[in-house]
Structure 1
């Protein structure tokens, strides 16, 4: 275990608390693994369905683009669900419809059924992913929030890779049924998980919050001073901002949400989400098979997709292990730089192909190598950090509202890149699309360097105070692991 994760007091309680928090983070992050299946299903299945004549070329933008549309709608629904039902129940209620939508995709008797199933699977992505990320952030210790918060991205990459591998050897209907069974695993995990203590405290359910904290910290007594200290700290922040919705009308709530101290982390999160999508990652995941086919490469498109997915998983795991040591800003800067450098060769490759360069066959390996290095860069930062940063820097009072808007914006950007990729290729060619992604990576470097603050090692309360310049943050020394704040 890395040195920074060694507990100050190697107590029985501390070790078990660590194991439990890892377990609940894994359970919630299953939502991202299933989301990876939604994203990557189209890569092996669209070319196969076209070959079989099940869909037409005119159907491709909709089969690929409907999940982001559904996810955008789902993200808007996610906010009130998280507010009134809680994070855990929000994740539980998506399980059956998510599984049913995948099953329908497997049995789909018509193109319309494929459209509807893809829209529904995307809708569940929009509901589940913000809830999963926020749930993990609110239930784990600050010392390991970076690594466990990045677990969502790791399982997303794992879901993408598994779908690429299965899609290369299985028919699309069988692949869909396997994904349907995977959704049920999310329900099993969350059934045994506790509710977020922060949400329980926010809704005045202190006894339940004590029970949840007792479980998460692996303590024997719910009246333990560590639990009381944590609850009082959260109450102090909530009282300071009059968070209880019964004490303020909705108009005042919205007026407060547009204060600069609240809008600054909101727009930082929005911008990071924009760069995550417009670096081109969703185009590569959704249309990797088509990209490799159009490149003219003689390397098997399924093998190329699997290699790209494997690289993403490996380097996402590496990023997860180093994020709490390296910090968020450095990883994002490294991520953008590697993506920028890797996109230039593939842009030049398609440029040469567009002008009819006769020896293009001698450099057919460039698309695969470029996308491998692109995936290395993306996995080290932008694959793991945007949702983690969002869950850290958003003010707790507006976390439900802002996270839903930001997730919807992210999904809208995903929709734009996926749906319009075939159209953009017709208009400006593959080279034009990839040059656009290259420019976005360059701009993201400038933005992160000058505007994004570092949040490594800070509690959610300390981060929130960073955006309140009139108040000084009181940084207290962490005691033992079992007495640290969970938030």
Structure 2
């Protein structure tokens, strides 16, 4: 039985985490807005095509509208790489609200002016999305205690999926303009909530702003700024030792990049982003409604919009499950399992399309449609609960804090270049290879992702950010890349 002192310490720890949970919920509004950006194209593009506002839209135009947010995210990630070092993590989240507001406004007024407003609208919302996908997880990983860091960073992905589900459901009932107007209101609430949060103490300590660091720690741990708790003082000392021990190394970015202890985690994160995008998850998510219409030739058991909603609801279940499991099972095991589920689902879809007419004679057309729906559910749920969530979590955990701005901008930019290529040319790939070979190709990439994660990526569950670097990348401190 625990004694009285143990109970008091446990209660104090739970109380000290309340501000961190509040901060994660405020940042979650930004994640919800990211979900709106990602989810808009699935119901929005069919609405565009049937609205009569743009009668001359071609398949190429539709692909650009769907995919250009990835180029915006590329720009946003590069800008945010500098912003989080110059202005801080929290302020970068606030900055992201402005391109989001501008982008949604352009989409709302597009039908009254010109098709290019759609392009600019999607580009600007992509910039805001790219900012939030870097600044949000980094901020959460730096303010959270190690025991709850995975859970809090996962709240970002949970609310991102909630944003997708909300957009899919609302898109069943309203046109693309109203959908954009509603989505445009979310960044306003995010601005109000995040402005009340403190800056990350890790940002302050790299600037040697000691008092601001103490104030931030005290807010996040719910203690008095005039008399910080022993836990706060101990955490601050550890942070100073980890980040402030070598002034010359902090100043010399080129010296850091020539060190294997920096390049090794950086290359690992590049690899994670590579297998994340080549698995095809974003392409299938962006064009869910259109894929259902083409795959079932408009004769599915369930309306294509409703099918997309069903898929998104199971995505939410998957992400919520990750929220519960990520700090219990671990990042690496979950990622390997999700990549394997994706690969299996894609193989099944490819076989289903290849033997489509034979199967329809054996198990009926309706049976084939149900199998395809189940496979799409598993595919998107596995992607949303695995690579889509944990790639960003691992990036924020593996990259050293003192080069987070440059490294996160580079790796996220690389991620969005790949995302653009897979989403922009997805329809072209299908036309050249056919649907079944496209499924088979992405299934091989997903299987490669499982192998890469298993053999290369370290586990980060329950470890401090400094401990992750020390255990996995510290042995080669004196090794310099020639």
TM-score (norm. length: structure 2): 0.91
Q: Secondary structure at the match of 1:240?
A: coil
Contact kept in structure 2, 1:202 and 1:244, CA below 8 Å: no
Q: Secondary structure at the match of 1:185?
A: helix
Contact kept in structure 1, 2:261 and 2:476, CA below 8 Å: no
> Equivalent residue for 1:149?
153
Matched, 1:168 2:172: yes
Contact kept in structure 1, 2:44 and 2:171, CA below 8 Å: yes
**Separation of aligned partners in 1, 2:164 and 2:9:** 37
**Separation of aligned partners in 2, 1:8 and 1:254:** 49
**Separation of aligned partners in 1, 2:269 and 2:248:** 22
Contact kept in structure 2, 1:99 and 1:179, CA below 8 Å: no
Q: Secondary structure at the match of 1:220?
A: coil
Contact kept in structure 2, 1:284 and 1:291, CA below 8 Å: yes
After TM superposition, the structure 1 stretch with the greater mean CA deviation from structure 2, 31-40 or 308-317, is: 31-40
Matched, 1:444 2:449: yes
In the TM superposition, residue 74 of structure 1 has moved relative to its aligned partner by: 0.9
Aligned counterpart for 1:302 among listed residues 282, 288, 305: 305
**Separation of aligned partners in 2, 1:314 and 1:8:** 33
Contact kept in structure 2, 1:102 and 1:180, CA below 8 Å: yes
**Separation of aligned partners in 2, 1:197 and 1:426:** 51
> Equivalent residue for 1:347?
350
In the TM superposition, residue 223 of structure 1 has moved relative to its aligned partner by: 4.6
- Post-superposition Cα deviations, 1:2-46, rounded to whole Å, max 9, x if no partner, equal xxxxx9645664333222111101211322221111111111111
- Post-superposition Cα deviations, 1:302-341, rounded to whole Å, max 9, x if no partner, equal 1100000000001110111111110111111111111121
Q: Secondary structure at the match of 2:208?
A: coil
> Equivalent residue for 1:322?
325
**Separation of aligned partners in 2, 1:241 and 1:385:** 31
> Equivalent residue for 2:84?
82
In the TM superposition, residue 199 of structure 1 has moved relative to its aligned partner by: 0.3
In the TM superposition, residue 358 of structure 1 has moved relative to its aligned partner by: 6.7
Q: Secondary structure at the match of 2:434?
A: helix
Contact kept in structure 1, 2:98 and 2:128, CA below 8 Å: no
After TM superposition, the structure 1 stretch with the greater mean CA deviation from structure 2, 99-108 or 172-181, is: 99-108
- Post-superposition Cα deviations, 1:164-212, rounded to whole Å, max 9, x if no partner, equal 0001111111100000001112111111111000101111111111111
Q: Secondary structure at the match of 2:458?
A: coil
In the TM superposition, residue 442 of structure 1 has moved relative to its aligned partner by: 1.0
Contact kept in structure 2, 1:210 and 1:223, CA below 8 Å: no
Matched, 1:15 2:14: yes
Contact kept in structure 2, 1:214 and 1:222, CA below 8 Å: no
> Equivalent residue for 2:40?
41
Aligned counterpart for 2:373 among listed residues 368, 377, 387: 368
Contact kept in structure 2, 1:137 and 1:392, CA below 8 Å: yes
Contact kept in structure 2, 1:203 and 1:244, CA below 8 Å: no
> Any stretches of 5+ residues in structure 1 without a counterpart?
1-6, 472-487
> Equivalent residue for 2:411?
406
After TM superposition, the structure 1 stretch with the greater mean CA deviation from structure 2, 255-264 or 160-169, is: 255-264
Aligned counterpart for 1:468 among listed residues 453, 467, 474: 474
* CA distance 1:243–1:395, shift in 2 (3 Å): farther
> 1:225-264, aligned counterparts within 5 Å?
225-242=230-247, 248=251, 252-264=252-264
Contact kept in structure 2, 1:96 and 1:184, CA below 8 Å: no
Size of the aligned set, in residue pairs, is: 459
Matched, 1:333 2:331: no
After TM superposition, the structure 1 stretch with the greater mean CA deviation from structure 2, 10-19 or 397-406, is: 10-19
> Equivalent residue for 1:207?
211
**Separation of aligned partners in 2, 1:343 and 1:411:** 22
TM-score (norm. length: structure 1): 0.90
> Any stretches of 5+ residues in structure 2 without a counterpart?
1-5, 478-482
* CA distance 1:178–1:9, shift in 2 (3 Å): same
- Post-superposition Cα deviations, 1:105-142, rounded to whole Å, max 9, x if no partner, equal 11113211100110110011112220111000000111
Contact kept in structure 2, 1:42 and 1:287, CA below 8 Å: yes
Contact kept in structure 1, 2:70 and 2:417, CA below 8 Å: yes
> Equivalent residue for 1:159?
163
**Separation of aligned partners in 2, 1:130 and 1:268:** 17
Contact kept in structure 1, 2:249 and 2:256, CA below 8 Å: no
Contact kept in structure 2, 1:319 and 1:379, CA below 8 Å: no
Contact kept in structure 2, 1:280 and 1:434, CA below 8 Å: no
* CA distance 1:253–1:392, shift in 2 (3 Å): same
> 1:176-191, aligned counterparts within 5 Å?
176-191=180-195
Contact kept in structure 2, 1:68 and 1:411, CA below 8 Å: yes
* CA distance 1:8–1:205, shift in 2 (3 Å): farther
* CA distance 1:428–1:335, shift in 2 (3 Å): same
Aligned counterpart for 2:135 among listed residues 107, 110, 131: 131
In the TM superposition, residue 262 of structure 1 has moved relative to its aligned partner by: 0.9
- Post-superposition Cα deviations, 1:206-238, rounded to whole Å, max 9, x if no partner, equal 111111111111112445333332222222122
Contact kept in structure 2, 1:202 and 1:243, CA below 8 Å: no
Aligned counterpart for 1:418 among listed residues 409, 419, 423: 423
Contact kept in structure 2, 1:27 and 1:190, CA below 8 Å: yes
Matched, 1:217 2:221: yes
* CA distance 1:276–1:243, shift in 2 (3 Å): farther
Matched, 1:114 2:118: yes
